[in-house]
Amino acid sequence: MPLGLIVNPCNKSLVFRPMDVVRSRLPTAVYTADQVRTLDKIAIEEMGIAGYTLMCRAGEAAVAALRRRWPAAQSAAVYCGAGNNAGDGYVVARLAEDLGLSVRVIAVVPPDRLSGDAARAWHHYRQQGGSFEPFDAGRVPEEDILVDGLLGSGLDRELRGDFLAAVIAMEAARRPVLALDIPTGLQADTGLPLGTAVHADLTVTFVGLKQGLFVGEGANYTGALEFAGLDIPPAAHAQVKAPIRRITSTDVRSVLPPRPRTTHKGDAGSLLLVGGGPGMSGAIRLAAEAALRSGAGLVRVATHPDSVGPVMAGRAEVMCAAIDDAQKLDPWLQVADGVVLGPGLGQSAWARAVWEQVLASELPVVLDADGLNLLAEDGRARSGWMLTPHPGEAGRLLETSAREIQASRLRAATQIADRYQAVVVLKGAGTLVAAPNGVTIELCDRGNPGMATAGMGDVLAGILGGLLVQSGDIGAAARAGVWIHAACGDAAAEGGERGLLAGDLMAHIRRAVNPGG
């Protein structure tokens, strides 16, 4: 069809008001950038959906999100760069003008250099009377909203030239930013900025969730995230296996079904927690309380004699034993369904002795904190355990640095799982759960920066142990546990993130482990 005779496939009757579009829940599947391009190709070539139709649907979704997020906005500066991301930007500009917004299009790439659907979007916008101005690095935008339509998910090298200058100008403007598909400069697979990247307040991503929005530093650049599937049929997604699955509340319900009325404490699992060296009783006490709050029927703590008093004083429901000789652990191990080993353990001779005694048993184990540091020295593999490293501990387990772990969290989680034959919970923003020889990694996208404080890992270890002895399934306990921990952290942070304490989560755990209750 000649460009001068463009027929608009977009819904011209669509009127965007804040309540018109119900915000859809994010799907569970998370893809690589190449996989999303494959989904796009399947929709166009096998299902007969025109590429320009998809582009118009993307623009409609983005403008709807803009209106919901900033209903009082009267003006927008739309930065258009290259490829389909620029095309999305021109569709947004046209539809935003239809709604009465004052729109200024800033072209970092001259529109006459565009091709395909992006060129079509530009010509359609021009037919409507739209115009553009070339990018001027010296002009700081003053519009209410900035729209990032510079570059999409195909970027694989550091920003340079006018693209770099445009990102710097957008950052300098200190205006709210809506990113189309992915913030420019953010690598779509690693979640790392390519030199620099746009800090979006809202990102509307299309077709499939990109893993770079969740891993690496993606959360620092994405802002609030909305998803628009563009009405691509599920049959397209069935052809592409996602490497990552988002953990949801469904994972909790599957592990914690309603209890029969005749349940007694022995039915709810018996957990032994081992740790709490001299001066570190707080860690094991936090873990023990979290285990109780998660629903474990019997919670026992085996700790250094110096720590018995503080543990008992903090939580009377915990049974506590002074262990001055590792052999004294045996009776406690015999009545346990699972063990949490590591909170406050230390690396003393006492710690090493009890560590060896626990791992010599065949019980399922959640290994945390100094338990992981001792493992890094020992290097053994063992079936039936869960490792819960933060990036520093993960680096020691793989003999590398925390920085290297953060640069490739997906690979690190898989390597640890395979090397130690363990279910791995790699903690951090976007906590990952990986299993040995597994294909799909699970990701928790809940939680908040207030949880970066002492004791949070101990609470997580207790929750994981409590779920383990209730379910008997290490993988399922890991998935549900990280979700519960993060969700409780979000609930506790409603009054503010800074100053959040690990103990603040305790009041929320009971509600989280009773879904629908």
Q: What is the mean pLDDT of each run of 10 residues along the chain (517 residues)?
A: 39 34 70 98 97 98 97 97 97 97 97 96 96 93 97 93 96 96 97 96 98 94 96 97 95 88 86 96 96 95 95 85 96 97 97 97 97 97 96 98 94 97 96 92 96 97 98 96 97 95 96 83
Give the Cα separation of 144 and 371 in Å (integer).
52
What pLDDT shows up at residue 369? 97
CA 89 to chain centre: 27
Give pTM, 2 decimals: 0.91
What pLDDT shows up at residue 260? 84
Query: Does the CA dihedral 257-30-415-487 come out positive or negative?
Result: negative
Give the Cα separation of 28 and 214 in Å (integer).
12
Q: Helix axis angle, 83-98 relative to 51-69, nearest 10°?
A: 60
Q: Report the chain's terminal Cα–Cα distance, integer Å.
A: 58
**Which residue blocks in 9-82 are alpha helix, DSSP H?**
33-45, 51-69
Pairing of strands 102-107, 431-434: unpaired
Q: Helix axis angle, 474-492 relative to 456-471, nearest 10°?
A: 140
What pLDDT shows up at residue 10? 53
What pLDDT shows up at residue 15? 35
CA-based nearest residue to 491, from 475, 513, 461: 513
